[in-house]
Amino acid sequence: MTHGSVFDLERVSISYGSVPAVRDVTMSIPHVGITAFIGPSGCGKSTVLMSLNRLTDLVPATSLTGTIRFDGADIHAPDTDLVALRRRIGMVFQKPNPFPMSIYENVAYGPRIHGQHTGLDAVVERSLVRAGLWDEVRNDLGRSATALSGGQIQRLVIARCLALDPEVIAMDEPTASLDPVASSTIEDLIRELAADYTVVMVTHDLQQAARLADRTAFFSVEYDAEGTRTGLLVEYGPTADLFERPIDQRTRDYVTR
């Protein structure tokens, strides 16, 4: 998997019941580095991100057509091990969501549910170090995670993913609810992680995409004759091309507004 793509999406359309979210997305996400999804609200970028580890399954009556391949395997194949899939693809959300337990237990939760009960101290330390939080919490591991600041919680959530040794870290607007200082700490961390992990992130912040991402995908919204709104992928390529030499007029309008 050192070359080629991690994800291959082929004509992926997703709807929630009768409400279409996004249609006809075809794209490949390569190994390591940062891929950003940008676009206006309702363009389906978060839906596509969530579908990568099948969190869209949480919504009943979700229907998906087309195929999503992860490491060559169709993630909707009947023999897909959902637990293993989610272990390999970590997810960080917009709203920091600490578990109501200690800092230590937050990080140990993933390994525990996957059956690991020994060597947890080392896993917790390694993950917190990697997420840049260790020095701040090393003496408070038993403290409730909910007492941490928003930026610390977001790094804790990243440590929680890292504890499972994932291949991909998917992030849904990871800095949207943070102050500028905490945001920039997270951005630095994302940049570091991208050397070893495939990072896919949704962001509302065009500058953030321009600063961080190797590749950027621009999603937009279209309305059919009856006024039904659907998201679609307009343009996808190296970030510099997308921002400086966009091919599609809609992309140009969006990135230069």
| Amino acid making up residue 152 | Q
Pick one of 25, 55, 194, 210: the residue that binds another protein (CB under 8 A).
55
Cβ 83 to another protein, closest distance in Å?
A: 4
In whole angstroms, give the CA distance from residue 191 to residue 154: 15
Q: Does 109 participate in binding another protein (rule CB under 8 A)?
A: yes
Tell me the number of residues near another protein by CB under 8 A.
42
Q: Which of 3, 77, 79, 83 binds another protein (CB under 8 A)?
A: 83
Contacts of 129 (CB under 8 A, 6+ apart): none
Question: Measured from the CB atom, is 1 or 101 closer to another protein?
Answer: 101
- Which two three-digit tokens encode residue 231? 């998201």
Using an 8 Å Cβ cutoff, are 220 and 243 in contact?
no
∠ CA 8-14-18 to the nearest 5 degrees? Answer: 170
Query: Which CB atom, from 35 or from 47, has the smaller least distance to another protein?
Result: 47
Q: Are 39 and 219 in contact (CB under 8 A)?
A: yes
> Residue 125: what residue type?
E
Angular region, 150: left φ>0, alpha ψ -120 to 50, beta rest: alpha
Q: Which of 87, 89, 128 is nearest to 110 (CA)?
A: 87
The phi and psi torsions of 167 (rounded to 5 degrees) equal -100, -30
**Interface mask toward another protein for 2-41; x: CB under 8 A:** --------------xx-x-x--------------------
Q: Which is nearer to another protein, 115 or 180 (CB)?
A: 115
134 makes contact with another protein (CB under 8 A): no
By the rule CB under 8 A, 143 interacts with another protein: no
| Residue 4: CB minimum distance to another protein, A | 25
Measured from the CB atom, the residue of 107 and 246 that comes closer to another protein is 107
Helix, coil or strand: residue 83 = helix
Nearer to another protein, 227 or 256 (CB): 227
Among 9, 25, 39, 46, binds another protein (CB under 8 A): 46
- Considering only residues 7, 23, 37, 53, which one is a binding residue for another protein as defined by CB under 8 A? 53
Stretch that binds another protein, among 4-12, 27-35, 48-56, 68-76 (CB under 8 A): 48-56
201 binds another protein (CB under 8 A): no
Whether 214 contacts 239, CB under 8 Å: yes
How far is CA 90 from each of CA 188, 190, 231, rounded to the nearest angstrom?
A: 18, 13, 24
Residues within the interface to another protein (CB under 8 A)? 16-17, 19, 21, 42, 44-47, 49-50, 53, 55-56, 58-60, 62, 82-84, 86-87, 90-91, 93-95, 97-100, 109-110, 113-114, 157, 160-161, 164, 172, 202
